[in-house]
Each structure stands twice: as C-alpha cells, then as structure tokens.
Chain A
Amino acid sequence: MPQSVSSAKSYDAIIVGSGAGGGMAAYVLTKAGAKCLLLEAGSWYDTAKESAMLKWVYEGPHRGGSTPDKPFGEFDGCVGGWQVQGEPYTNAPGTDFMWWRGRMLGGRTNHWGRISLRMGPYDFKPYSRDGKGIDWPISYEDLAPYYDKTEELIGVFGSQENLENTPDGKFLPAPRPRCFELMIQKASNKLGIPCVSSRLSILTRPLNGRPACHYCGQCGRSCATSSNFSSPTVLLPPAQATGNLEVRCDAMAREVLVNREGLATGVSYIDKKTRKEMQVRGKIVVLAASACETARLMLNSRSPQHPNGLSNSSGLLGKYLMDTVGSDGAGFVPGLMDVPAHSCDGVGGMHVYMPWWNYQKQLRSEMPFARGYHIELGGGKQMPGVGDFDGSEAFLGGGYGAGLKRKIRSFYGSFLGFACRGEMIPNKDSWCEIDRDTVDQWGIPVLKFHFKWSQDEILMARHAQETFRELIVNMGGEVVQSSGAEDNWGISKGGQIIHEVGSVLMGDDRRKSVLNSHCQAWDCKNVFVTDGAPFVSNADKNPTLSIMALAWRTSEHAADEVRKLNV
C-alpha cells in the first residue's frame, strides 16, 4: 500500500485552515465560483449540537473545570490549547512563548472574545508617524470597504463615536451597559478617558437568518443559536450552499507542493486518521492556518526552487512575530456591595471599553512609550466557579459559619477586573524558525520561538497599571490585584494573549517582505495568505476583524487570478 495518495481531482483553490481567515477565503472564493477544498487540522464541529450553552456549572462532570483538550474549562467552545497532545513546539533559551492552537472546524473563532475593532489610519502607517516599526503597503482607505462588508456580513454592535484613530463601523445597536459598567464609565469620564460601547460581533438584531442574542453571557462556549460570529456558523454555511466547497477535517498540512517553475501545484497533508500523506491539487493555494502555523508550513515547504522555504528569497519568512501587550488589574469597590439581585449576564463580554486616548500627547512626545492600548473590563454577579473563592481570606479575614455566608452574599459582584490590550511594535528578536531536531506526531518539523518585548511595551504595561489604579481609586475602591516593576508591570508572555500576527509580512518591496500588497507570495504568485501572518503591525485593535477584512480583499484578488487561470 503506498504511503502517499494523490487525489486525481483538481480544485481551483486549496485553502488551509477554517478559522477567520480560511473561512472568509472559502466564503469569497466559492461565491466567486471557484471550486475549493478546505483542509482543517482539527475535527468536525457542530456548534448547535456540541455547544455547552446554558449548562449550569453543577451539570458538568468537572463543574466547569478544565480537561486536557479544554484548558479554559469543559464548557469552552474551543478544542485546543497552548499545549496540544503530540504537537509540541520549542523555545530558544530565554524565550517562554506560548502558542495556542485551535484544533477544530472554525479554529479559534469558536471561543474568541468577539471584540471587533477596526484598525485606524495611524495604525497602517506607524513608521511614518513615529519612526518605529514598519508601514503597511496599504492604507485604512484600502481596507475600509472590506471592514464595511465584513461587519455587515457577521454583525457587529457598537456606537458612533467619531474618536481619533478609532474608526466607527456599520454597527448594530449597542446593548445598555451593566450596572458596574455605568460606574466605571462615570469614573472614566472624570479622568478624561473615553469609555464607550464595546464593538463585538454579537447580534443585537436578527441578521441573515441568525436570531438575535439571548443575553446568557456565554459566547465563549460557542453559541448554539449562531447569534455571535464564528466561522462554522457564519462563513462556512453560505460557502457550502454554493456547492463549490468541500471540507476535509483531520487534515494536517505539511507542505505546499511546487512544480519546476516554483509555482504551487497543491498541498501535501497528513490524514490524521490514517497517518498517511495525501496530496491534493489546486490552481491556487490559500494559507490561513494561523500566523505561526502558516509560517511553519511555508518554512517546511522547501524545494530546489524554494531552498529556504516557500517564497523566502527575502529571508524574512518567520520574522517579525507579534502578540498583544497584556497586563491585568483588579479592584474591590465597596459601593458595589449589597447590590440587589439581578442578571448581569448580557452579551458574552464587556458592554463598554476604553479606547486609547493619548494620540495627541504622543504626537507632542509627551508619552514615555510609542503606540496605544485599550482597556477591557469585567465584573458583576457572574455564574460562580469552583476556584472563585481561592484567596477569599485576604478580603474576608477568614472565618466560617453563618457570618461567612452573609459576607459572601454581600461581596458578590463587588470586584472589577481591568485588562490592557496594547500594541506591540515588531522587533528583530521576536520570530520563529523550524526546529529541525523535533517533529510532531505527524512527522512534521516543529517551530522554535524567539520572543522579546521592547521598552515601549513594558512602559505601556506600567501606564496601564497606573490607569487601573486611578480608575479603581476614583470609584472609591481598593486595588486588589496589581503588578509593579518587580514583575515588569505584569506584562504577559508572548502568545498568552493569543493575538499572534506577523511572521509572513506583506509589503511593497520584495526584498523586505514575503507577500505583496495583495498578500500574494512574491516568489510564488499562486499562493495567498489570509490569516494574521501578513500583518505588518499589531495595533491594539484585536486582530480578528482585520484578518477577515484583509482576507476578503485578498480573496477577491485571488478569485481574479483563478478566473485568469481558467480562461
């Protein structure tokens, strides 16, 4: 029996990955008439059947606790994690990068925060603005029409605010803030920090046959009514309805195959069920395996035509890997004690957030760091979890008995959490390469990471810590969780925020980028990348919406190429 099997059928496009970028590529290409094969490394997932939505914590065999394939708890919508059994990665000395892989249809779109922020005009030209990082080869105006289309397709709520470098979108009505969010808004306004409706891809009105949100607050469990955005509920069904999409799960891509001219002919993957290599042919190949996985796939696609990996004549494949700056704080606000019982669930996530507010100060060089962050927040009377009481003695002084029960009722809902989500400037010390000494269980060489924050990011985390303190104190509260100089202001580890982008950069100079301004490989023109890998910067605008808008633009261009090839 041969070890590899070649499929006789040829497709117009082979798409690797079914998340935000791959799902969007499938949507646009199939609608344009291209016959597509979508490869997904994880298993099939039926959201309506498998979602744990509305389960009580006591109904889970683990009371909501984690399981080996659900590190965010047994009810979480995403199968995968920072560690995937049999699929290791390595870190260079001094690096502690964490690489989350979603291994299921739709990937990480099954449990993401639905935070859908447009990048602003400054964010595309960061080098021109402050001399750091790299400018994108496109501008906000190039992507704006695709943001419009994406928001109208997936449904994003928000409010028109007309804030600097924080473009408004095609929004559904925003939900009213929760009680504690009104208090935060009040404190924020006093400090001159904008605190406006968040922008989440959750339906506050029915859209395209999907019902509106029912406000159970459990978007992370994946929504059984498709009232929030995920690729398998929003992008893949219309793609499948065209009759042009074939989906193959448990297909772990290992390399892009090329012909003598160095053009892609298809993809080689390992069928996880049989552990055999399969080869599939396509006129174009679209990579959307997630930033690092796409870099890995390209680096592993070595041939005489592409000796250092696919389209790597610049030597930049794998370079400029970015994540988001994270830093957390929490406060106890006595004013929120003994609040009358009511549901604080709302949508799955914050109803308000604080966009970056210091652009003008930075322009005047009055800030100690470049680039901005926004503040995400949470609190309220949430569904309890088993670990919620760990450390309660620090607040309640210990004790036991009926008095302890009374205190807990009184304190319930009086704690607030804040999180910084800030921009990381690409640097030469943060990148990934192939570790030739290690293969995963599918025989594919793994990634080795190098990662380092710069002073800009660390000082940003410090500023965030100071802002959290001001907000909490302003509300009459007490800071109960904070970070200081001793732990670098609580700055997250690389990969912890799960916003990794870059490593296969787009650009308008083939010596300084891997992809052109249409995310088409410079050295292999029938390969396109539609995930976060082409990102040239990682603004504080959570990347998923931009991944989809850029994927839409790239896929339109790819569809044109398919048409030309078919003529």
Chain B
Amino acid sequence: MIDDAKSEKKQHTQNSMDRRDLLKVLSTVPAAAALFPAGAARAAEMSMPHRSGAPAAAAPASGDYQPTAFNPHEYKTVTVLSDIIVPADERSGSATQAGVPQFIDGWVGSQGGLDTIRGGITWLDLESNRAFGHDFVDASEAEKKQLLDRIAYPKTAAPDDAPGVVFFNRMRSLVLGGFYTSKMGIQDLPYMGNQMLSEWNGCPSNVLAKLGVSYEKT
C-alpha cells in the first residue's frame, strides 16, 4: 500500500501538482506560508499553484447524498473518520456539518488519490477485524481510539503500522483542507479578510501590543 500511495502520488503530481512537491520543485513563488509551510507556501509575488479540486459540495451534510467515488461502506467510514478528526466543539460544528465527506468524495474522485483512501480503509478494517472482530465503523469509541492512536502520531507509530500512518496523514489533510475552506471553517479560524475596506489602517493596537511592535519610527 505504501508503494501504491507513492505511485499514486506521482501520478497526482503529474496531473495536478501537489503543493508540497511544488514547494520543492517550483520556487516560482515567494513562499509566504499560510497555515503549514510543508503544504502551504503562499504567494508574495503571485498566488501559489493550488491543487485542483473536484466540484465540491459546500452544502451541509445530508443523509441522502449519493457518493460518486466511494462505495457506501467507504463513504460511511470517511464520514466517521471526518468527525473524529474534526468534531464539533464550543466554537464550531463538525466536519460532516461542514460538508467535508461530500467534499472528499468529489475531490478524490476527480483529482486522484482515491486509492490511498480506499486502501487505507481496507487496511483499517483489516486491523479492526483482527483486533475486535468487526469493521472500523462498527467499533466502539474506545476501540476506535485504540486503533487510531496507533496511526495518528507519526513519530511514535510502530514501523508495521506505516501504511496506516500514511493513510491517516492524508485523511487528516483532506478533512482539515475541506473543513477550513468551508464557510464554517473560515469562521472558526477565523479568517477576517476577503472584504472591501475603505482604507487600510494596518494592524489593530491589540495585535501590535501582543507582538511588541509599533508604527512609530524608532
């Protein structure tokens, strides 16, 4: 599965360019990191090439969504994992409330990467069945946690669990990417821009104070 993931990634890069690879390969763009620089150089001079996406449903999750890339079991697993990665909390809703499973279904369907997720789900179900005697979606909360804790922390994961780590890293990136590009996720961060301002006054004073900088010439 690791090999699959690699070859799939290669194909991915050829098709639509992975932003991580772009960072290494293309220095076209002054990197100006957005969230995480490994995936997130953002233009000072121009905008960074973005990885293409599927026509992505921005609508909230609804029970009657018919997945096009995943089969029903896979889609259910993606849905369960999405809400484990981004659950509702006091500030915002969950991944499914932000339409993330639909987004992922569309994204991997049109951009590639489906096999990484599909293979990962098969790996997860296999491990779940060996450990608990049922698929991951049917596992109890404690069982899910036990299994995910094996693959969610790359630095401490066992070498034999590497396929699960690769899968979960990709899953996490997709869920976070889908969530924080939704209206709900943008309000959660929050990103305060994308509006017309009549003038630019620079940073607010509370920000200047926190950073210990000012507009007074020294």
Contacts and interface: CB of A to CB of B under 8 A. Distances in A.
B201 interface: yes
A89 interface: no
A59 B182 CA distance: 9
A63 interface: yes
A415 B16 CA distance: 25
Contact of A58 (B56, B85, B148, B214): B56
Nearest to A416: B33
B50 A387 contact: yes
B44 A417 contact: yes
A186 B134 CA distance: 58
B198 interface: yes
Contact of B34 (A60, A332, A382, A487): A382
B2 interface: no
Contacts of B46: 72, 111-113, 220
Contacts of A54: 194-196
A428 interface: no
B39 A417 contact: no
B47 A73 contact: yes
B50 A220 contact: no
A490 interface: yes
Interface residues of B: mostly helix, strand, loop or mixed? Answer: loop
Nearest to A75: B47
Contacts of A498: 28
Interface in A365-418: 376-395, 397-402, 404-405, 408-409, 411-412, 415-418
Interface stretch (A162-170, A247-255, A289-297, A334-342): A334-342
Interface string B20-61: 100111111111111111111111111111111111101000
B68 interface: no
B189 A66 contact: no
B136 interface: no
Nearest to B107: A386
A183 B213 contact: yes
A387 B27 contact: no
Nearest to A389: B176
A377 B44 contact: yes
A393 B167 CA distance: 12
Nearest to B177: A386
A505 to B, nearest CB: 25
B193 A419 contact: no
A394 B38 contact: yes
Contacts of A492: 26-28
Q: How many residues of B sit at the interface, in one of the four size bands?
A: 35 or more
Contacts of B89: 402, 405
Contacts of A341: 189-190, 192
Given A339-B207, A418-B31, A391 B215 contact: no
A387 B23 contact: no
Interface string B182-194: 1101101111111
Contact of B51 (A66, A175, A204, A221): A66
B152 A399 contact: yes
B194 A56 contact: yes
A408 B86 CA distance: 11
A213 B197 CA distance: 8
B155 interface: yes
Nearest to A225: B196
A182 interface: yes
A216 interface: yes
A547 B32 CA distance: 26
Given A64-B181, A340-B210, A378-B42, A385 B30 contact: no
B159 interface: no
A258 interface: no
A356 B203 CA distance: 27
A65 B154 contact: no
B147 to A, nearest CB: 12
A8 B215 CA distance: 63
Given A62-B56, A328-B30, A398-B153, A385 B40 contact: yes
A416 B181 contact: no
A91 B35 CA distance: 36
Most buried by A among B28, B29, B42, B206: B28
Interface in A331-361: 331-332, 335-336, 339-347, 349-350
A215 B197 contact: yes
A342 B191 contact: no
A108 to B, nearest CB: 10
Contact of A113 (B25, B44, B87, B169): B44
A67 interface: yes
Interface of B: 16-20, 23-56, 58, 84-87, 89, 91-92, 103, 107, 111, 148, 152-155, 168-169, 172-173, 176-178, 180-183, 185-186, 188-204, 206-208, 210-211, 213-215
28 contacts: A63-B103, A73-B48, A112-B46, A176-B201, A182-B214, A217-B193, A220-B46, A326-B27, A342-B192, A343-B192, A343-B197, A345-B195, A345-B197, A384-B189, A385-B42, A387-B39, A387-B173, A390-B36, A390-B38, A390-B39, A390-B173, A392-B176, A395-B36, A401-B84, A405-B87, A405-B91, A481-B37, A496-B26
Given A339-B207, A342-B203, A385-B177, 17 more contacts: A57-B186, A182-B203, A182-B211, A215-B196, A220-B46, A340-B210, A350-B44, A381-B189, A382-B34, A386-B50, A390-B177, A398-B154, A404-B85, A411-B35, A419-B44, A419-B45, A481-B23
